[in-house]
Structure formats: structure tokens, C-alpha cells
Amino acid sequence: MRGMARSSPALVVGSLGLDTISTPFGSVSDVLGGTSSYFSLSASNYTDVQVVAVIGNDFPDEYRRVLESRRIDLRGLQVMDGRTFRWAGQYKFDMNVAETLDTQLNVFAEFHPRLPEDYRQTEFVFLANIHPSLQLEVLDQVRNPKLVVMDSMNFWISSSKDTLTDVMRRADIVLLNDGEVRQYTETANLIAGGRAILDLGPRAVVIKKGEHGALLISRNDGVFVAPAFPQEEVQDPTGAGDSFAGGFVGYLASRGDTSPEAIRRAIIHGSAIASFTVEDFSVRRLERLTTAEVLDRYATFRHLTQFVDEGLEVGA
Amino acid sequence: MRGMARSSPALVVGSLGLDTISTPFGSVSDVLGGTSSYFSLSASNYTDVQVVAVIGNDFPDEYRRVLESRRIDLRGLQVMDGRTFRWAGQYKFDMNVAETLDTQLNVFAEFHPRLPEDYRQTEFVFLANIHPSLQLEVLDQVRNPKLVVMDSMNFWISSSKDTLTDVMRRADIVLLNDGEVRQYTETANLIAGGRAILDLGPRAVVIKKGEHGALLISRNDGVFVAPAFPQEEVQDPTGAGDSFAGGFVGYLASRGDTSPEAIRRAIIHGSAIASFTVEDFSVRRLERLTTAEVLDRYATFRHLTQFVDEGLEVGA
């Protein structure tokens, strides 16, 4: 079966920006950030990646080269007069929660995605957490999607829920964190919340739970639970979710496969890649990540969840 | 191998009481509760259970019969003049958190565990979350422990940490919830916290994470992650942790086995039993639980975590 699989590129439309981050382990200023950076560096371990995003003319060449040194195609990158999108945040004792200190949209405020002609044929599409109306603009440009995976965020859930629901109706897989699922569905229980989103049309909902791993709720495949990699020292959690998405979509695109079995494996790949991202600030760990390391960590995930069966009789 | 295993009884020393509980799904008054109830009904699916606890002379005969109708030996039950231990609590939107409304120790305030002579030979011992000095009194009475599993709670961690540490040094497996591990070790990261407890001497730490499952951190077996059963409607979370302990210790005792593989399976059994407990108020679901149901749910746990491997090459 594997020999028959055709590797496809993955398309991401999302933010590209400069981050200023403080954690208990250190701080960095104006480093490479944004969903598209983490996603594309992660997915490039598996397949070619096409990026549609916007930067200002202050975006460092050095960061462009970080991306171009991998299998990342930047022809969809728009350069506008003005400053690049910036985000500043900090993490305290509980590294699960980022406190946003500052967000400057800058050129991102004027962004409308324009896909180069050949990107419109791309079959594996990731809609990062941009405004849902921009997500719809992307869907109106792609001609041949085999798998549309979408993310969103608390701000759009509260301010643009109807438009966001329109995107969900057209997506194959909805990728959200646990808080976003609870907020969108107004349901405390994640399984019930996931099923409510399935009712809108998607085949599957993948719920990212940070240190608690990820949960798949699937129309055809029931529930699947993936652990997070057990890490004693998380340096910087920024980008973990976007890296998960990159490993997830990148793996599926590399296999040209959207079967339930492939989706389960893709979640493990997403978890594996995300576990590297948080080991260092910004995209530093992804820059030096090797295929051998990815494979090794994937194998570790099997050991994490395996329990050998003996006979099942009880009450002996 | 299984044919060689010898089934041992399990001993529990802990509270037995009357609970008054309110959840979004209903409320009940003076129902059978306490760690020993949930533990023993759960463990009795696997092996004979010996209970050391105290009740007042107001304890209903009907509740005694609920326990005696299973493989539960109540010769270690002390009956004192006075009222039985009572707890009242409520759960709101977030069913992970119980709010205690009232605790009346009553006869429990005067409790000192006294093990019947033959209980002192019991090899599988569970020390429920009673005062650590009472846990030490139990350890001074048992003569032949093969596996000592201990629980505790936030109140003892803050008020009697040194004595609690003495118990941990003599335990084989420490069973705590995630908040208790963070509180005891003053460490946000659960893996680091678990390892800090291993440094005291136990072979393994099992961290109960409610809807996020359980985490094993083991001296010889690394980390193991078990999911919680995906449940859309939890009626009453009371006793989930004690039921987990009952399935966990009951399974190991029934096999006479403390190997790393058995401990992993025991965690799945604990998770399976706990998933039944929360389906109804008090111990009602445990009262009508059948072996076939336990086995069926155990099998479901495999499907929850399984990802079929294909070749591991990436970047094709």
C-alpha cells in the first residue's frame, strides 16, 4: 500500500511574524514566529510546503533563509510596506497558559490571501487561525482540496462565530484546543463538544490538550487518545499547537492518505514534532531537527501507551 | 505464566461513610461512600477484599449488606458508639472539581486501625488517604507486604508533610492526583514531580488526572500514559479515584504479580472500573457491575490508544 501513496505538498495560510517571549527559562525578542513558521518548518520534515502569508519590509532576510533552507516555498509570501506582525507574551509557573502582553497586527491587518496559480491545485490545505472570512477566501481559491484542516482561536469564536461556523461546515478536520472546543460548543465535556462539531459536517475533530496530549473524535473511527511526550523541561511552549498541525498535515500529505489509520498516525507525528518545538525558544529546535530524531520519538510514543495483553479473565 | 500466578486478597484501610452529593444531574443524601466502599466494591471484581474501617452505630444494615454481597470481608470493621463519618459536596459545570460543603469526622476522629490477626499476613495493602500517622500504624502491623500502595490528600500534604514523607519512604507505589503531586513536590511539571517522589524510595508513582487519564512514572519502566474512558455524561465523579485504586490493587492482587507489565495493565483496569463508577451516583453502578462489562471496557481501552504502524520512513 505504501508504494502506491503519492506525496503531495501541503499549503498553509496563516501568520508570519516576530515574537517577543518570556518564560521562566529565559526571554527572546523579535524572533521568528507566527503559525506559518512553526507549521512549515514542522511539515517540511515530511513534504514540500507552500506558504501564503504577509510580512513587512522590516522582516529579516535571515529568517526568510531559515525557511528557504527547508522544503518551504515562499512564492505565496506577500511583502507590504510597513512593519511585520508582532506578538509579545509570557509564561509563568503554569507553562500551559500564555499571557499576551502585546499584539501588533501591522501589515497583517490588510492581509488578503492570494494563492499563486499552482497552489490552487494543492490537495492538502491548512487554514491557520486567521479571521474566518479570510479562511473562506482561501477555500474559494483552492480547486481540488482532498483534505482541508482548519484551526481557529478564542477571539474569532467570540467575535465571528457565524462565519467561523461556515468555515467548519466546509472543513474536513477541525483542529482546536480544549478551551476553544468548550467555548465554541458551550459544553464542558470534550467528547460531547467534539461530537457537536462533527454534527456541522467535518469528518473529525482533533482537540489539542497541551501537556495532556490530543483527542481525536471521528465520525468513522470513534475516539483516539494520544499522549503528549513526557517532558521535564519545557523551555518555551510557543508554537506547540502550530507544530502539531504541521506534523499532522505534513504526514498526511506525504502519504497522500486520509484514511482513519493514517489520521491516527498523523496525530502521533504531530505530537512528536510539537514535543521538539518546546525544547527551545522560537523555532530553534525545529531548525536543527533531523529525520532520525523524529523517527526515534515516534517510536517512543508506542512505548508510552503500550500495555501487553494477557488473558482477559478476571475474578479468578 | 498465568497458571503460576496465585490470587491474593487485597487489604484496604480507609474511610467508610455517608455522602451527600449534588451534581448538575441530581443529588443524593446519606448514601454509601468513603474510600473503603468504592475501593472494595471495585477490587472485589478481581479478588477477595479485607476492609479495616470504622462506622458509627447509625450505619445502615442495608449498606453493610451491599458490601457483604460481594467478596468483601468486614471482620476488620470497627463499630463505635456515635455517628458515622459524613461528607457533603457538590460539583458544578466543571465536573473535575468537587466543592466540599461539609465534613463531619464523627467516630472517624477516634479511629486507630486494628488489623485482625490473619489480615496481618496480607501481601497487597492499600493505604487510603487517612492521616499519615495512621498509615504508619498499618505498616507496623502488616508482616509480609509484597506491595504497599498509598494515597493521600491535600490536607495531609499541608498539615503533616514530614509524616507523609515517612509513609512514602515505606511505600512501593504512590498514588496521587495531579494537584497533589504538584502540591507535595512544589513542581508544576508532573514528570519532574513524579521523579522527585521516586527519589524517596517508591518503585512507581501513579498520577490520576481525572478526565485526562493517568500517568505512570516508574523506576524500571519509564513513563506510561493511560487515557480516561471518553464519557459524554458523568453523573457523579465521587469515588472515581478510589475506584481506580480498587481496580489497580485488585487486579495486581488477583494475579499475585507486581511486574512492570502487570502494573501497566492494572492502570487500565483501574481506569476501566473508575469509568463505570461515575456513570451513576454513589456506588450504584458498582453494585450492578458485571465481569463481562469490565472485560468489554478493558478491550475498548486498547482501541482508544492504538495506532497501527506502517514503515517509519518520513520525508519521502
Q: In this complex, do B265 and A212 lie within 8 Å of one another by their Cβ atoms?
A: no
Looking up cell 488473558, which residue turns up?
Answer: A311
Over residues B283-289, the mean pLDDT reads 97
pLDDT of residue A247 exceeding 80, the answer is: yes
Per the CATH hierarchy, to which homologous superfamily does domain B8-305 belong? Ribokinase (3.40.1190.20)
pLDDT of residue B3 exceeding 60, the answer is: no
pLDDT at B310: 62
First CA to last CA distance, chain B: 43
Backbone angles phi, psi at B251, to 5 degrees: -60, -50
What is the bridge-based pairing of β-strands A10-13 and B10-13?
unpaired
Over residues A303-313, the mean pLDDT reads 73
Looking up cell 455517608, which residue turns up?
Answer: B18
Closest CA to B204 of B184, B190, B182, B221: B221
Q: What SS3 class is residue A228?
A: coil
Which of the residue ranges A227-231, B101-105, B168-172, B272-276 would you say has the lowest mean pLDDT? Answer: A227-231
Q: In terms of residues, how long is chain B?
A: 316
Contacts of B298 in chain A (CB under 8 A): 312
Over residues B4-8, the mean pLDDT reads 75
User: Which of B7, B205, B212 should one mutate to test binding to chain A, selecting the residue with the greatest count of A CBs within 10 A?
Assistant: B212
With pLDDT > 90 as the criterion, what percentage of chain B qualifies? 86
- Look up residue B104 and give its three cell numbers: 463531619
User: Which of A44, A298, A307 should one mutate to test binding to chain B, selecting the residue with the greatest count of B CBs within 10 A?
Assistant: A307
Q: In this complex, do B267 and A7 lie within 8 Å of one another by their Cβ atoms?
A: no
Alpha helices in chain B (DSSP H): 35-43, 61-68, 132-141, 154-159, 161-170, 178-185, 190-198, 240-255, 260-277, 284-287, 291-305
- Rounded to 10°, the helix A132-139/A161-170 angle is 30
pLDDT of residue B220 exceeding 80, the answer is: yes
Given pLDDT bands bounded at 50, 70 and 90, which one contains residue A311? low
pLDDT at A97: 81
DSSP symbol at A93: S
Closest CA to A286 of A243, A255, A223, A226: A243
Q: What angle do CA B217, B219, B220 make, to 5 degrees?
A: 110
Over residues A25-33, the mean pLDDT reads 97
pLDDT of residue A124 exceeding 90, the answer is: yes
With pLDDT > 90 as the criterion, what percentage of chain A qualifies? 87
Q: Tens digits of per-residue pLDDT, A30-46? A: 999 999 999 999 999 99
Contacts of B92 in chain A (CB under 8 A): none
Q: In this complex, do B305 and A305 lie within 8 Å of one another by their Cβ atoms?
A: yes
Over residues B244-266, the mean pLDDT reads 97
How far is the C-alpha of B177 from the C-alpha of B229, rounded, in Å?
A: 17
- Give pTM, 2 decimals: 0.90
pLDDT at B315: 46
Which of the residue ranges A95-109, A117-131, A166-180, B24-38 would you say has the lowest mean pLDDT? Answer: A95-109
Given pLDDT bands bounded at 50, 70 and 90, which one contains residue A232? confident
